[in-house]
Structure 1
Amino acid sequence: MDRDSEAKMGRRQLLHSAAGAIVGSQVLGRGAARAEPVQVFDYDVAIIGSGAAGMTAALVAAKRGLRTLVIEKAGKFGGSTARSGAGIWIPNNEIVLAAGVPDSKALAAAYLAAVVGGDVARDRQAAFLDHGPAMISFVMRNSPLRFRFMEGYPDYYPERTGGMPHGRSIEPDMFDGNLLGEELAHLNPAYMPLPDGVVVFGADYKWLTLALVNAKGAATAVEMVARYGKAVACGKKPLTMGQALAGGLRAGLLSAGVPVWLNSAMLDVKVEGGRVTGVLVQRDGASVLVRAKRGVIVASGGFERDLTMRTRYQEQPIGVDWTMGATSNTGDGIRAGLEVGAAVALMDDAWWGPTIPLPEGPYFCLSERTLPGSIMVDAGGKRFVNEAAPYSDVVHTMYQKGAVPAWMVVDQNYRNRYLFRDLGPLLPFPASWYENGSLVSAVTLAGLAAKMGVPPDALEQTIARFNGLALAGTDVDFHRGDSAYDHYFADPAVCPNSCLAPLSLPPFHAFKIVPGDLGTKGGLVTDAAARVLTPAGAVIPGLYAAGNASAAVMGHSYAGAGSTIGPAMTFGFIAANGI
């Protein structure tokens, strides 16, 4: 054994010894120096966090007849789930099978193994695939939620064994907000509010982007308005995407009689006799103890909003201003787990995506970097990545190539054809985008390069080469367009390659690109039963974790749309069935 291995083993042994001391000490972790709780509440299960993982777990526990409480630090429920597009990646579920998707457990297992590899134990991968379909069926039987197949949205690596070029992701169908009653006012708002008078599903965005230049895009826009009119005529308050998912789960909890404490921050987990038996909570200005006879499920989200943790664990440059995660996601559950001896993994990673740091908040780029007439360049003015690749891969490459920040360059033809964020084609970009440095424009490429701070000759040469590849229809440099996924957000009217077009019409525009994310993906290490483990692999009795508070079953990869929420709900389901 080499010295480095000996040192690592020594650190693990030290951590394990410390964990044993903490778990056996029968104290309240960090709460040892805190004031004594003024009130005690008794439940069977305490769940930390009201996102998709936490509310799914709560619904399962309640339906098992367990006295269940959800504890939420924020003043709104739903967490990052409510802010999201709410794609859900659950292979072989009843929705995709009914839609005719030729999926199977064997195909899904082969695909997940190819994508995740050895980063995650095979039994955890198997648990996700075994229980995911049952979780979706359970949620539909025990809440008002219904789901739709996101037809045509490919797996992110569809050419790999078991991959689906036409996808296997689902999303919530429209949910009537009236079912929440007064609780609707407590739903965390969407990341990007939708315009009034439309009902938009996640699968619509591909076509909305093309509404000015594509018949199906125009038809989709008309259909969105018609959906809204029909819903309102029936007296409904239509919600979709993350609003529907969080709202539907909360409605299920209302029917099951599960309380959700808002503005209630977890301070510590309580340990007695070597077992986690409850949590100390700051509520209404006082410390209260929630006893949990069966155990505690940590579903409190990641640490994307905690600068200290991001600086400690993640590559620089990094910050808390580029994330789309809920503002309450400051790693509380992960730190509490560490206090009682839990292991952590994947802390260096996140659910990354190329992001424009706009003054009104970060904008996570999906279609914009895939559409023809755009490229990404580094500080040297050179391409460095397949711009249409899965968003997590693009940011991994940004860090690997030292391209932080990068620039996305487009021409005016691009601007004339496509929706950008929520800005219609032909419309001028807001002055505030220029003022905060997120966007620069110029009539010439040399002038653009000067404003970007990149070498003019290099940018001109890069675009000249790219234009030649685009006209030929084959990107021999970075293989943009080789995968079916590359074409999902592209323009089918552009030939010979729907995601390649030359940049030739001035003025030219360049957007600053930084490594944003949907949340961090590192957290407490769990087994196939969602039980939290020590660094030595021992179970911490009574402590479970799901969602972004746990180390992701996707490892360092991203199988398809909804690879965050699908596993989060599934391991919440697993935890509550096993607790």
Structure 2
Amino acid sequence: MPAHQNASAADRPQPRGHSRRQVLQGAVTAGAGVMLGSGLLDRVASAAYATVAEYDVVVVGSGAAGMTAALTAAKRGLRTVVIEKAPTFGGSAARSGAGIWIPCNEVILAAGVPDTPTKAAAYLASVVGSTVPAGRQAAFLANGPAMISFVMRTSPLRFRWMEGYSDYYPDLPGGMPKGRSIEPDQLDGTVLGAELAHLNPSYIPTPAGTVVFSADYKWVTLAAVNAKGLAVSLEGVSRYTTAVLHGEKPLTMGQALAGGLRAGLLSANVPVWLNTPFVDLRFDGSGRVTGVVVVRNGTQTLVNATRGVIIGSGGFEHNLSMRTEFQRQPVGTDWTVGAKENTGDGIQAGRRAGAALDLMDDAWWGPAIPLPDEPYFCLAERTLPGGIMVNGDGVRFVNEAAPYSDVVHVMYDGNTTAPDIPAWLVVDQNYRNRYLFRDVAPTLPLPDAWYQSGAVYKDWTIEGLAAKIGVPPAALRGTVRRFNGFALTGKDLDFHRGDSAYDHYYTDPAVMPNSCLAPLLLPPFYAFKIVPGDLGTKGGMRTDARARVLRGDGSVIPGLYAAGNASGAVMGHSYAGAGSTIGPAMTFGYVAANDIADSPGA
């Protein structure tokens, strides 16, 4: 598609030797069928944009990709602005646990993690395969560590190694059973001043009176039955109390990441325009992107970008028409936990400009329970011993402890021949007595609204539960009996749950001989509906190793860059480890801004 087809008549690239006025006159004449007088043309041209602003770099989106890009551009001496359509900043990153997968970064090396560039390259290549060009993989690995160091130099952010959070495929070449992922350290929210009020809230707020890190979650889940879990929970209360006594507002996880990046932008004097929807790109006569059109304070506004535009506006998880066009059924916008403003605006603009698109059929999938308030993305719950996932035939079909994206891929692949969507997570009362479930403490009853919505069912017998969820009772009884045998021997002969180090991260070390497996024996029994949820989509504009947006023929759309979920993921159809969304998003935002700074004539 020609690059000019996305623009209004006044913005389309003008043929050489023709003035903007002549092009506008021709466009208006073609549309109306008559030649208009020059006075009306002047009014149309001047009315196109009530306001014009100019920066060197315009960044669309204030998530991890956008704010890292903006911070980099500003520190390279470029006048930079961030535009954000939401009334808050931070996007999906602010809602997340904020794991960041960056091999060989200074944080993990200082912690003694034996990572090397050779190991990292071998592992990423094994995970991604040929889906993503080797040059992009290499650019991510080469720039990621520098990006982390840069962020720590230019913002109040500090990071912690998520010790023990295994790479998702630790048995592949270069995989690390103790993991490479990092997360933000505790941040004092007062550094944001009045901007703290504009931080996008977290997906599931941390309980009042405690400070919890993402790496703590596995232990907090076990607090009722595990001494370390109890100690970690009490430590969270102590951290909170200490911070408050010092007049601080403690932030962790996605709140710390987004808050820290925004604090960096404040110190670099980078404006972030909230409530400013992105409308489209603007081009010059050569087809170069020269700015964006936005709606600011209710007025269509042209923002010129003399050096480049970086799209970091997120995915299209909340755009039903795009999901229907590109993704497998059943799919919808009700099962995602991505920021609600992620409707693919940047991807659509790139598509109109002629950008090739990659990985549009895929997402950062994960099993989710469609609770009545919002979907719940299952991490520990499907892995903890004493639970199994079954399909509509009442049989297991997947290793419940496998990486969450893989579980949903299996659900979709199998759903063509078996009723794998929805699936059901079946647990017993022993499971409920031992483990936190979402934010419901062990032994406490689940909310009535969960039952009323059909997300959860309960019965005193396996056969009765099967009848309630519509699966064959004999099949479910047989499945539970067979699984209970595996739990006693510690070996899952059907799906090898527990064979991988990753499988054991969210499990109960007190359960033997396999911490992933415990029998379902104690009534009542529960079934939680499982649907293909996601953290966001992972398809978007095709980019090169410099984060430049490419056309289908491989040529570059000059002046246009993309990072994060607005671009095709460097992880391809897979997921290397915790933080494989945010790590590359920040890295390619950093790459894009540096490329602009290094290429003044590009």
Q: TM-score, normalised by structure 1?
A: 0.95
CA–CA separation in structure 1 for the residues paired with 2:256 and 2:6: 41
**How big is the shift at 1:306?**
0.4
Bigger Rg, which one? 2
Q: Check if 1:315 corresponds to 2:328.
A: yes
Letter of the 1:341 counterpart: G
**How big is the shift at 1:22?**
6.6
Q: In the alignment, which residue of structure 1 is the partner of 2:152? A: 140
CA–CA separation in structure 2 for the residues paired with 1:61 and 1:534: 24
Tell me if structure 1 keeps the 8 A contact 2:369–2:530: yes
3-state SS of paired residue (1:492): coil
Q: Check if 1:374 corresponds to 2:387.
A: yes
Which of residues 498, 501, 505 in structure 1 aligns to 2:515? Answer: 498
After superposition, the C-alpha distances for 1:53-85 in whole angstroms (9 at most, x for unaligned) are 000000000001100000000000000010000
CA RMSD across the alignment: 1.5
User: 1:480-499 alignment to 2 at 5 Å?
Assistant: 480-499=497-516
Q: In the alignment, which residue of structure 1 is the partner of 2:292? A: 279
Q: In the alignment, which residue of structure 1 is the partner of 2:108? A: 96
After superposition, the C-alpha distances for 1:419-455 in whole angstroms (9 at most, x for unaligned) are 1011110001111000000000000011000000000
**How big is the shift at 1:26?**
8.1
CA–CA separation in structure 2 for the residues paired with 1:97 and 1:230: 29
Q: Check if 1:358 corresponds to 2:371.
A: yes
CA–CA separation in structure 2 for the residues paired with 1:127 and 1:24: 35
**How big is the shift at 1:470?**
1.0
CA–CA separation in structure 2 for the residues paired with 1:67 and 1:324: 33
CA–CA separation in structure 2 for the residues paired with 1:399 and 1:457: 25
Q: In the alignment, which residue of structure 2 is the partner of 1:431? A: 448
CA–CA separation in structure 1 for the residues paired with 2:488 and 2:588: 47
Q: Check if 1:169 corresponds to 2:169.
A: no
**How big is the shift at 1:195?**
1.1
Tell me if structure 1 keeps the 8 A contact 2:97–2:214: yes
Count of aligned positions: 562
Letter of the 1:426 counterpart: T
Which of residues 332, 335, 355 in structure 1 aligns to 2:348? Answer: 335
Tell me if structure 1 keeps the 8 A contact 2:191–2:263: yes
3-state SS of paired residue (1:578): helix
CA–CA separation in structure 2 for the residues paired with 1:200 and 1:473: 32
Tell me if structure 2 keeps the 8 A contact 1:26–1:271: no
Q: Check if 1:257 corresponds to 2:269.
A: yes
Q: In the alignment, which residue of structure 1 is the partner of 2:34? A: none
Q: In the alignment, which residue of structure 2 is the partner of 1:469? A: 486
Q: Check if 1:44 corresponds to 2:56.
A: yes
CA–CA separation in structure 1 for the residues paired with 2:488 and 2:414: 27
CA–CA separation in structure 2 for the residues paired with 1:23 and 1:293: 18
3-state SS of paired residue (1:358): coil
Tell me if structure 2 keeps the 8 A contact 1:277–1:542: yes
CA–CA separation in structure 2 for the residues paired with 1:397 and 1:541: 39
3-state SS of paired residue (1:410): strand
CA–CA separation in structure 1 for the residues paired with 2:6 and 2:332: 32
**How big is the shift at 1:25?**
9.1
Q: Check if 1:64 corresponds to 2:81.
A: no
After superposition, the C-alpha distances for 1:237-263 in whole angstroms (9 at most, x for unaligned) are 000000000000000000000000000
Letter of the 1:196 counterpart: A
**How big is the shift at 1:27?**
3.0
3-state SS of paired residue (2:375): strand
Identical-pair percentage: 70
Q: In the alignment, which residue of structure 2 is the partner of 1:572? A: 589
Q: In the alignment, which residue of structure 2 is the partner of 1:5? A: none
3-state SS of paired residue (1:352): strand
Q: Check if 1:151 corresponds to 2:163.
A: yes
Tell me if structure 1 keeps the 8 A contact 2:5–2:352: no
CA–CA separation in structure 2 for the residues paired with 1:234 and 1:158: 41
In the alignment, structure 1 segments of 5+ residues that lack a partner are 1-14
CA 314–431 in structure 1, closer or farther in 2 if over 3 Å, else same: same
CA–CA separation in structure 2 for the residues paired with 1:119 and 1:457: 43
**How big is the shift at 1:24?**
13
CA–CA separation in structure 2 for the residues paired with 1:125 and 1:528: 8
3-state SS of paired residue (2:532): strand
CA–CA separation in structure 1 for the residues paired with 2:380 and 2:96: 16
Q: In the alignment, which residue of structure 1 is the partner of 2:96? A: 84
Q: In the alignment, which residue of structure 2 is the partner of 1:542? A: 559
After superposition, the C-alpha distances for 1:178-227 in whole angstroms (9 at most, x for unaligned) are 00000000000000111111000000001011101111001001100011
Which of residues 458, 463, 487 in structure 2 aligns to 1:446? Answer: 463
Q: Check if 1:561 corresponds to 2:582.
A: no
**How big is the shift at 1:360?**
1.4
In the alignment, structure 2 segments of 5+ residues that lack a partner are 14-23, 29-43, 597-602
